[in-house]
């Protein structure tokens, strides 16, 4: 067993994790930032090809309080307004800091180019370009991480458990993916920045890493989760034909910039049949578009792969090239010509509004345990405002690193009892068999779980479907997970890693499903066909914690603040 020590241990190396590492290091802390894939290459940030919301006021006068108002409105009365205000106000500083780090925000005559995105009252969203915003952000942060002293990078390190002693987080147990060696990390503070759980759904825009491990580890460590029922589904995610190297939600700006027609399997427009006017432009709300697509497919009028058609054949080639020149070329490399063919789209799981419950310092109720980015719950309420994901990574990552470092520097640390790691690793021990052939059960069960979550805990829910899902999830936890055969004679034991990932995924799936059962209303991203209306009774956040092996839910008042919409101002260049 390898033992290492650090002031701040950051779990996850996407945008939030790298920002947390940078922030902790400039506070003078020794930092290890770890990722089970490559540093800066996993998670959601590098996949993002869209825009970043911030009231920098370069395109038109703005102020962060107006960004806050739009965020709160999108959140359907469930935003933790303290966190939302921090997100909106500090995003301006973080955008300028990223500019200093040469991220390359698009500019015209010295001013950052900003565009309008759904839910915003004005042009507020910056970008690098329509293909490379996420990769550019990852590259800039990766460069800062590489050049700052005090940061050690650990790629290929799968963290499986937070170690808690005397009620405080003191480190973590991890497995070196390549060698299979157990690594015990002693830390003054741990930042959970491996957020996201949309991989748990059959159709999703997630990276392979986003299976909910951060939420599961925090829950098992004694932290609370919040708002787990709110999974955001993007209405027109790419379905077919096969497309490589492009964001599956890329069709959004195409549609609202030039107008793409949504057609059912019979090549008929259908949005107007669901109480909305579309008319070839992006005017129908996302929830309406999602519901309409869902119903067309359910009633047998879907496209061949179970979605609907998105057609641009009424838009001239000149207009398409003017608006999306580089993207048209990238599509051509994928064999897609929008002048000659429609593509298939479908709602896909895209983002998770819930997560780990934290205070304004990103601290959980477990001393020493912090969270950042999409791992944090509460700031976005029941629906995330478009463009808020990347600034959330910047702002919450910076705060988690800063406050985590301060906590670590003032803390007396005792060595971790090695028995803690032994207990963690003993859970699947009875299932390890020398020279066994991996039976594929973990991956097969994950595939089943993804289908179950899509079919019964997906875009539109009912009490009956949710109860069926909960029963099967708990059966998978108590029976199927415990009957998997895992070979233990290989250095690279992917079957064992799959087992831990499945364990975390099942715990997250249970939390989503249980929370959805309890919220007997429809609100934001949580839509129940059997209870279609929202209720004032449920203008509350739902919490989840563990009591032994049992999951316990509760309700909490939504944190509110008083604020005034300040005068919008144009940036001075």
In order of their start, the domains of the chain are 2-230+353-414 (3.50.50.60), 234-347 (3.90.700.10), 419-540 (1.20.58.100)
CA distance 570 to 573: 9
Tell me what pLDDT residue 425 has: 79
Cβ neighbors of 227 (< 8 A, separation 6 or more) are: 78, 353, 354, 355, 377, 378, 381, 382, 515, 541, 542
Least confident of 117-121, 307-311, 457-461: 117-121
Beta-carbon neighbour count of residue 246 at 10 Å? 18
- The model's pLDDT over 435-463, given as tens digits with 9 standing for 90+, comes to 777 666 899 999 999 999 999 999 999 99
Tell me what pLDDT residue 85 has: 98
Average pLDDT, the chain: 91
Tell me what pLDDT residue 235 has: 86
CA distance 152 to 29: 11
Token pair recorded at residue 570: 């144009």
Across 293-311, average pLDDT: 94
What is the torsion angle, in degrees rounded to the nearest 10, for the CA atoms of residue 507, residue 508, residue 510 and residue 515? Answer: 140
Across 192-208, average pLDDT: 89
CA distance 380 to 354: 8
Looking at per-residue pLDDT, the higher value among 45 and 158 belongs to 158
Least confident of 316-320, 379-383, 533-537: 316-320
Across 35-43, average pLDDT: 75
State the residue for tokens 């310092």: 361
Tell me what pLDDT residue 524 has: 93
Q: How confident is the model at residue 3 (pLDDT cuts 50, 70, 90)?
A: very high
Instruction: Report the b/e string of 197-232 with b at 16+ CB within 10 A.
Output: bbbbbbbbbbbebbbbbbbbbbbbbbbbbbbbbbbb
CA distance 22 to 142: 10
- The model's pLDDT over 386-424, given as tens digits with 9 standing for 90+, comes to 899 999 999 999 999 999 999 999 888 878 888 877 887
Tell me what pLDDT residue 47 has: 61
Q: How confident is the model at residue 330 (pLDDT cuts 50, 70, 90)?
A: confident
**In the predicted structure, residue 336 carries a pLDDT above the cut 60:** yes
Across 463-478, average pLDDT: 97
Looking at per-residue pLDDT, the higher value among 116 and 101 belongs to 101
Q: How confident is the model at residue 431 (pLDDT cuts 50, 70, 90)?
A: confident
Q: How confident is the model at residue 206 (pLDDT cuts 50, 70, 90)?
A: confident
Tell me what pLDDT residue 515 has: 98
**In the predicted structure, residue 323 carries a pLDDT above the cut 90:** no
| CA distances (Å), origin 405, targets 13, 362, 464 | 17, 12, 47
Across 520-532, average pLDDT: 95
Q: How confident is the model at residue 255 (pLDDT cuts 50, 70, 90)?
A: confident
Across 335-351, average pLDDT: 91
Across 15-43, average pLDDT: 90
Q: How confident is the model at residue 234 (pLDDT cuts 50, 70, 90)?
A: confident
Tell me what pLDDT residue 447 has: 95
CA distance 390 to 49: 11
Tell me what pLDDT residue 361 has: 98
- The model's pLDDT over 139-188, given as tens digits with 9 standing for 90+, comes to 999 999 999 999 999 999 999 999 999 999 999 999 999 899 999 999 99
Q: How confident is the model at residue 2 (pLDDT cuts 50, 70, 90)?
A: very high
Sign (positive or negative) of CA dihedral 394, 359, 555, 193: positive
Q: How confident is the model at residue 48 (pLDDT cuts 50, 70, 90)?
A: low
Tell me what pLDDT residue 492 has: 82
Sign (positive or negative) of CA dihedral 34, 36, 39, 40: negative
Q: Report helix angle 15-26 to 389-409, nearest 10.
A: 40
Least confident of 266-275, 412-421, 525-534: 412-421
Least confident of 87-91, 345-349, 359-363, 423-427: 423-427
- The model's pLDDT over 14-27, given as tens digits with 9 standing for 90+, comes to 999 999 999 999 99
CA distance 2 to 186: 11
Q: How confident is the model at residue 285 (pLDDT cuts 50, 70, 90)?
A: low
- The model's pLDDT over 477-524, given as tens digits with 9 standing for 90+, comes to 999 998 888 888 677 888 899 999 999 999 999 999 999 999 999 999
High-pLDDT (> 70) share of the chain, %: 94
Q: How confident is the model at residue 538 (pLDDT cuts 50, 70, 90)?
A: very high
Least confident of 124-128, 240-244, 426-430, 565-569: 426-430
């Amino acid at each position: 067993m390898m033992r290492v020590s650090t002031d701040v241990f950051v779990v996850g190396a996407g945008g939030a994790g790298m920002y947390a590492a940078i922030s902790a290091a400039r506070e003078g802390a020794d930092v290890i930032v770890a990722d089970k894939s490559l540093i800066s290459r996993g998670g959601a940030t590098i996949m993002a090809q869209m825009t970043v919301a911030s009231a920098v006021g370069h395109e038109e006068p703005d102020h962060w309080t107006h960004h806050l108002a739009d965020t709160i409105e999108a959140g359907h009365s469930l935003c933790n307004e303290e966190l939302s205000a921090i997100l909106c106000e500090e995003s301006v500083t973080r955008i300028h800091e990223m500019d200093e780090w040469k991220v390359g925000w698009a500019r015209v005559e010295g001013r950052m180019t900003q565009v309008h995105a759904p839910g915003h009252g004005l042009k507020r969203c910056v970008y690098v370009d329509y293909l490379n915003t996420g990769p550019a952000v990852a590259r800039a942060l990766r460069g800062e991480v590489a050049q700052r002293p005090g940061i050690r990078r650990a790629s290929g390190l799968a963290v499986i458990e937070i170690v808690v002693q005397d009620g405080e987080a003191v480190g973590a147990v991890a497995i070196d993916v390549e060698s299979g060696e157990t690594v015990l990390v002693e830390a003054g503070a741990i930042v959970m920045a491996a957020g996201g759980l949309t991989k748990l759904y059959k159709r999703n825009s997630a990276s392979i890493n986003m299976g909910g491990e951060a939420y599961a580890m925090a829950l098992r460590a004694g932290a609370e989760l919040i708002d787990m029922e709110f999974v955001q589904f993007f209405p027109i995610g790419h379905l077919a034909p096969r497309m490589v190297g492009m964001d599956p939600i890329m069709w959004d700006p195409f549609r609202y910039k030039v107008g793409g027609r949504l057609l059912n399997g019979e090549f008929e427009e259908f949005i107007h049949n669901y109480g909305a006017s579309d008319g070839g432009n992006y005017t129908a709300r996302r929830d309406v578009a999602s519901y309409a697509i869902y119903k067309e497919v359910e009633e047998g009028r879907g496209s061949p792969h179970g979605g609907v058609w998105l057609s641009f054949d009424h838009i001239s080639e000149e207009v398409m090239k003017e608006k999306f020149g580089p993207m048209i070329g990238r599509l051509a490399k994928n064999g897609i010509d929008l002048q000659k063919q429609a593509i298939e789209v479908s709602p896909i799981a895209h983002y998770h509004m819930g997560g780990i419950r934290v205070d304004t310092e990103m601290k959980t109720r477990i001393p020493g345990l912090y969270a950042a980015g999409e791992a944090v719950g509460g700031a976005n309420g029941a629906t995330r405002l478009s463009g808020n994901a990347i600034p959330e990574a910047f702002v919450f990552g910076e705060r988690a690193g800063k406050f985590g470092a301060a906590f670590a520097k003032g803390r007396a640390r005792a060595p971790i009892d090695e028995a803690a790691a032994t207990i963690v690793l003993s859970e699947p021990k009875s299932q390890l068999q020398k020279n066994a052939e991996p039976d594929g059960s973990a991956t097969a069960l994950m595939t089943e779980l993804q289908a179950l979550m899509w079919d019964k805990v997906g875009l539109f829910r009912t009490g009956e479907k949710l109860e069926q899902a909960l029963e099967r999830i708990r059966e998978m936890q108590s029976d199927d997970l415990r009957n998997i055969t895992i070979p233990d004679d290989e250095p690279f034991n992917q079957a064992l890693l799959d087992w831990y990932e499945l364990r975390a995924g099942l715990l997250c799936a249970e939390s989503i499903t249980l929370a959805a059962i309890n919220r007997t209303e429809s609100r934001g991203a949580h839509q129940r066909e059997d209870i279609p209306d929202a209720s004032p009774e449920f203008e509350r956040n739902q919490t989840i914690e563990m009591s032994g092996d049992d999951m316990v839910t509760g309700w909490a008042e939504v944190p509110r603040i008083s604020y005034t919409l300040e005068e919008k101002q144009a940036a001075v260049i």
